[in-house]
Amino acid sequence: MSPKLKGILLTLLSAAMVSVTFIASKQALNELTPLGFTPIWFGIASLWGLMFHATLPNRAPLASLRPHLRPLILIGVTSSAANYFFFTAIKIGDPTVVSFFSRSETIFSLSWGVFLLKERLTGRQWLGAAIAVLGAGLMTYKGGSLILSVLMLALVSNFFNSLTSLIAKMNVKNLPPNVLGLARTIGLTVIMGAIALATGELTVPSTPTLLWMVGGSFFGPFLSFVLYFNGLKWVDMSQASIIRATQPLFVAAYSLALFGSLIRPLQLAGGLIILAGVMFMLSAGSNKLISSLTNPLMMFRKNGK
């Protein structure tokens, strides 16, 4: 398997895993506030991460991380801001709607890629961004103040999420992906836990809610980000964005399979336009992606002859 293909598959699997977050967190947020939910959710995810880290034969000693404390702390801070706004959106809105709006992260990530990482953005990609904005407008058309509030929360959340991805991309060559994932979840636990404790919103969840959180935090904030940060070792930030753009389709499938629910046709149409715009926005890089997928197959066929 080529490194590029490995990165593509890891990032796609990450999108499938992180989509569990939308479903499990919605169930837990029926009982808890976003501030009460977030530190428990990421505290459990940190335990998953620490157990995984303990099994690694070549795990990085803590002393070796001191030169990298700044990016590790920054990941915790940006992730805390992103997730507070994200879970607030999940609490008040439909998970599938939030997942479509969350694709705005792609636009932010591309902007960082262009201006800081010197990745190129073409005219077709700018047109794709305009299509995505049109889809967001369709989703909010006659949607009322609730849908507009969800959009605003998602935009703020994804701005901070894109910063997290940028910091990870700039440091993934020097820090193991699981360490980046742990810095994210532990930072979230400490920062949001302190705020929740100070505001009196930290409470003990019921057993059913806790079970949703234990299972969801394994697939969402733990496993998905370990896979994603690993994928960033082999693919560009912009290429990873197009793969993770498939996330709403997983969320819609989970919602339908578990609860038999779908969003309204107009919102679904707008969401699909957002997704189409994101795909088109990154289509200039699609030849590289297709080549990455087909080259190993061609090599296999050649060797088979």
pLDDT digits (tens, 9 = 90+) for 151-190: 899 889 988 988 887 787 777 777 777 777 778 888 889 9
pLDDT of residue 183: 80
Average pLDDT over residues 71-86: 88
Alpha-carbon gap, residue 53 to 289, rounded angstroms: 31
Q: Please give the share of the chain, as a percent, with pLDDT higher than 70.
A: 81
Alpha-carbon gap, residue 103 to 99, rounded angstroms: 7
Alpha-carbon gap, residue 296 to 294, rounded angstroms: 6
pLDDT digits (tens, 9 = 90+) for 114-151: 666 566 666 777 777 777 777 777 777 666 788 889 88
Angle at 24 between CA 20 and CA 25, to 5 degrees: 110
pLDDT of residue 114: 66
pLDDT of residue 299: 31
112 has a pLDDT exceeding 80: no
pLDDT digits (tens, 9 = 90+) for 79-97: 899 999 999 999 998 888 8
SS3 46: helix
Domain count, the chain: 1
pLDDT digits (tens, 9 = 90+) for 224-273: 878 887 888 888 766 777 787 778 888 888 888 887 777 778 777 888 88
By the 10 Å C-beta count (0-12 exposed, 13-18 middle, 19+ buried), 100 is classed as buried
Host domain of residue 127: 3-304
